[in-house]
């Protein structure tokens, strides 16, 4: 920042008991940079890449630093590599990556709680996920999920918090594809969103944490990927098999 390489650093700031995203623009402010809260591991996660996407659009000439966990880096890669008009470009982001604490990795059931671009520290032990479970065909999937989708209140929390959901016009908000103003929503509301996540979901779990109905959305997205024959795109499958494997043994997408 001092050298002018970046215009601002997007990270987390602690103020009293609160931790929230913050764009640091002066080096002296970085004393308040916070890596998270080990005591409340789920309380300090935000879709920083989504915030960065908006910042990059708003300040098209700036380069930004980004405090990145494993899932932040994965989401950043998705948005940079996608064939879409995106304000994010690899030359506009300097990643400062760090591994998550083990408590957080366990909380997230995370298969890769570290980014490739780590600046310091050790890789945290991952939760190894492997194997297959749940539906194998579309009818199986629908049967399994019909009851669950009835509990959705269509608050859009899952979409709004998702770091890779950045479309200006969202399919699940179009009447022709998904009937609007209808509760409970038709099952194709959740299934359509799940289909759009194939090959894009980075399994950060923010959608599940945001869902007031407690719907296990990560499981749905994995199952839809498998039913559509896109399992090879998955970073992991849903069953926890062996949490003792070393980070190097982890399957990564």
Closest CA to 233 of 53, 105, 52, 74: 74
- Judged by CB under 6 A, does residue 221 bind ligand SF4? yes
Distance of alpha carbon 219 from its chain centroid, rounded? 14
d(CA 10, CA 65): 6
- Judged by CB under 6 A, does residue 211 bind ligand SF4? yes
Q: Nearer Cβ to ligand SF4, position 7 or 101?
A: 101
Of positions 210, 228, 233, 251, contacts ligand SF4 by CB under 6 A = 210
Q: From residue 104 to residue 123, what is the string marking binding to ligand SF4 with x (rule CB under 6 A)?
A: xx--x-x--x----------
Question: Considering the complex, what minimum distance in angstroms separates the CB of residue 166 from ligand SF4?
Answer: 11
DSSP element (H, E) containing 210: helix 206-210
- Judged by CB under 6 A, does residue 162 bind ligand SF4? yes
Percent of residues in the chain assigned helix, strand, coil, to nearest 5 = 35, 10, 50
Question: Considering the complex, what minimum distance in angstroms separates the CB of residue 108 from ligand SF4?
Answer: 3
Of positions 7, 21, 157, 247, contacts ligand SF4 by CB under 6 A = 157
Q: Among the candidate windows 5-13, 15-23, 49-57, 67-75, which touches ligand SF4 by CB under 6 A?
A: 67-75
Is 227:234 a contact under the CB 8 Å cutoff?
no
Q: Cα dist. 100→78, 164, 181, 200, 210 in Å?
A: 20, 20, 40, 21, 20
- Judged by CB under 6 A, does residue 12 bind ligand SF4? no
Closest CA to 127 of 116, 111, 104: 111
Residue ranges in 137-156 that form contacts with ligand SF4 under rule CB under 6 A? 152-156
Question: Considering the complex, what minimum distance in angstroms separates the CB of residue 113 from ligand SF4?
Answer: 4
Q: Among the candidate windows 26-34, 66-74, 133-141, 237-245, which touches ligand SF4 by CB under 6 A?
A: 66-74
d(CA 68, CA 48): 8
* Kind of pairing between the strands at 93-97 and 64-68: parallel
Query: Residue numbers of the site for ligand SF4 (CB under 6 A)?
Result: 45, 69-71, 100, 104-105, 108, 110, 113, 152-158, 161-164, 190, 197, 201-207, 210-213, 215, 217-218, 221
């Amino acid at each position: 920042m001092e050298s002018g390489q970046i215009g601002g650093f997007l990270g987390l700031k602690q103020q009293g008991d609160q931790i929230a995203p913050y764009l640091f623009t002066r080096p002296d402010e970085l004393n308040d940079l916070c890596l998270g809260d080990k005591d409340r591991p789920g309380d300090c996660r935000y879709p920083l890449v989504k915030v960065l996407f908006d910042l990059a659009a708003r300040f098209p000439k700036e380069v930004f630093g980004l405090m990145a966990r494993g899932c932040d880096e994965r989401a950043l890669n998705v948005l940079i590599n996608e064939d879409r008009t995106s304000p994010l470009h690899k030359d506009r982001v300097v990643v400062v990556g760090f591994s998550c604490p083990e408590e957080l990795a366990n909380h997230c059931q995370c298969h890769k709680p570290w980014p490739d671009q780590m600046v310091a520290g050790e890789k945290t032990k991952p939760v190894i996920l492997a194997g297959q479970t749940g539906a194998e065909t579309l009818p199986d999937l629908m049967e399994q999920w019909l009851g669950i989708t009835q509990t959705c209140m269509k608050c859009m929390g899952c979409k709004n918090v998702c770091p890779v959901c950045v479309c200006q016009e969202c399919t699940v908000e179009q009447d022709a594809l998904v009937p609007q103003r209808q509760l409970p929503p038709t099952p194709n509301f959740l299934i359509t969103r799940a289909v759009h996540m194939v090959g894009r979901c980075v399994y950060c779990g923010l959608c599940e944490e945001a869902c007031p109905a407690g719907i296990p959305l990560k499981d749905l997205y994995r199952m839809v990927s498998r039913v559509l024959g896109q399992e090879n795109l998955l970073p992991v499958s849903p069953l926890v098999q062996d949490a003792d494997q070393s980070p190097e043994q982890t399957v990564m997408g």
